[in-house]
Structure 1
Amino acid sequence: MFEACTERQTQRILDYFQSLGKFGREVNPSAQIGQTLDSAVAAMVDMFSLRRAVLLAANDSEGQLAPVAVHDPGATSLRPLRVPRTVRRTLIAQPHVRAFEALPADLADPLKTQVVNGFVEEHSAVMPLVSGSELVGLFIFERGPELPPLDQHDCIMLSGMCQNVAVYLYNQIVLERLTQKHRELEGLYGRTKEIYREAVMAFLTAIDIKDDYTKEHSLRVARLAANLAQEMGFTEHEVEGIYFAGLLHDIGKILVDRQILTKRGGLDLTEYAEMSQHTRLGAEIISNIQFPWENLAYAVRHHHDRPAFDEFSPRHSGNLEQGTKIIGLIDAFDAMTSNRPYRQALSLTECFTELTDGLTDQFDPEVTRTFLKILARDLDRPPHMRRVLTDRLLREDTERLRQALADALRRVEQFMGVITAH
């Protein structure tokens, strides 16, 4: 890198490596960009005895070079600089120190008027900052008239320090591009979700023509199942998937006879068999749609199956996926607490009994316990802040409900203790 050096040059080389080390310590994820660049400019000012210095950095979104670090007591109203494409190519191809008088006119003129109008031209120079085949900045500086021009060793050291700054700036540009791409993908993902939601709502509206219960029921199941999944520690993406599974869980009813959906009274065996097909039909409807969430068709197909602990239990489906257990519990809860053509809604106290009675073969105990805790917490909120226990559900004395919830939670935990012991 360096030829035989004088004692003074040797000392400057040592200073150079110390400055590089200092800059390396400044570059860390927690440091502010402006602070890092100020430190870099200050190091070069000290190293090369500069009177004035300005660092311009590329603004990737606007294609300009803007002042980001300034060492010039007299600097005022510095403006961004647009470098012509032909000049960019020249600077990228030959990234070395240039005296002001050696600059192309279409770069020197805007530099003088917009950035360095106080610099003494005959003592000033420009160093392009190039990285990744891109012009990422310019370092403009002035040395005092009493100092000799930079020699070969100085130019090599200045180039090395500027190269470190260039790499740092290039990394910031890449990060900004990735951040912008991430924002674009998030926006696209958000629009995609909205398209899916609109399509699902169109399905639900079609069902609503046949059965005005199913649409509102599906909306309630989706919201409450997502709330429960979030409480159980599911990721944001998984919670979204469970929300859509809740919307879609009864989609197969669009192919079930309207007379069966709205029949007052119990179903006969033939009607029950047709109604039971809605989970299979629903899974078939959505199985060929490429949703961004896994297991939607699985949840639709199996949300009435039972997470039994005994393989000989009726309707046993083995190890049901956890999201499906959530949909199954919330589906049952909303059905119990809703008026149906064949019965009136159960009270919450009656519903809690049904949930705990179903622990042996229908409801997952951990899902049930978490759900009851959500209800207990919701009951303790002021009425206007409750998210689950709305006026539609609250038809009993609050203290009685609180006691019923505590009893239900105790039964669930006792049941879980028995299961664990075995």
Structure 2
Amino acid sequence: MLCNGRADLCDLRYNQVTYPGTHNSASYSLKYDCELSTQTCLETKTVCQAQAQNCTMGWETRCSKMSNTCLDRLPDWMHWLCGAFTSTCEATEQFCLGWEDICTSSLEVCTLWGSACLGVIPDWAITCLWENQPDHTITQQLAAGIRFLDLGTCLTNNNTQAVMCHGNGITRAIGVPLDDVLTQIATFYNANPNEVITVEFNEYDGDVNLISQTIVQKVLQYFTLPSGQLMMYPRTSTTQTWPTLRQMITANQRLMIFMGDTYYPIPDPKPTWANQKDMWKQDGFAYTNQDSQPVQLNQSYYDWCNQGPPTDGSFIKWQQIDINMAILEDDIVASVKKGQVPELCIGPLAIQTNSAMLDALGSYCYTRWPYWFRVRVNDYWEGDVFKVANQFNDLNVARVKAGDPITPF
């Protein structure tokens, strides 16, 4: 019997195996969220109404408020209007209501932006700034051997649809619907009965209560058998021993679900298949989140690995190598102002780190902590994520055979 492609992994517990993974796994086929940015712009209409109310509150303060607000609200080429407002400061309340009309009409630029938005965003911006797995669907990733998927979820269409996304608020890009991703996972799952898959619902943007409800509903919809059996592996307590891959495969409960902050809003009693990720796993991003360049990431990992686990007997979380790179903000701003592509984009940064540096990190870090749960990268096809995960699993197998439990439970 092969378990995740290897016979020697079958009798290792789920938490004794190292999984190759992708960061922002569904960050492909993205587009800038023009709908949200337009909506955010239009919502400032309420600011205009508040300004009109302030206008009527007192003659003495009205002039300066109107003049300052006018300069702040209108583009430079319309500042001539501000002088006219100031010179008629002694006007009646009708003038204040007139200001509301002028202020609101200036928001027509929001509507114009909405219609031109996608055409304004340069072609390079999406692949350079947002897409972590460009042109590689979930189906392709699973077929290649990725066994850990990281899904960021947003709400669109007035909170009625869950989609994949990268970023937050008006800086986010959105992709395929959650239904599309879960369909791809379910199709692979059913066609490959000896494969164990891990899905983490971590980052989100929108109403966390609605997103959590949607995730639970969709997981149950796509991964419940006609008999009513769940395809997700359930754990009834935090002290329950994690199953072996063989047990998960034999039970046909080969899907392990982890959730970040989306876990807490789930009503009690929470599903036994939903695991809170921070209880078990130490994200590499927790101590590398300030790193933007390969040399910084490299140093942060070496420092962390040198530190080693605590010696006070406290629970040691599963360690994770997360090669998640960022682009320097100053480089982005300067480049966009000039209409140029930044000197470094996500893809080239991934290529710099996924091979030689990943190999070096693996060789150095593995022996300094009890257990490494995953190796996760951007642009997974560029580099050695599968090589490093297999090397880790060779060591995992040897240690378990020698009687080392590696992790509790």
Name the TM tier (shorter chain).
Answer: under 0.3
Give the TM-score normalised by structure 1.
0.23
Which is helix-richer, 1 or 2? 1
More strand by percentage? 2
Instruction: Say which one has the larger Rg.
Output: 1
By relative contact order (CA 8 Å, sep 6+), the higher-ranking structure is 2
- What TM-score, normalized to structure 2? 0.24
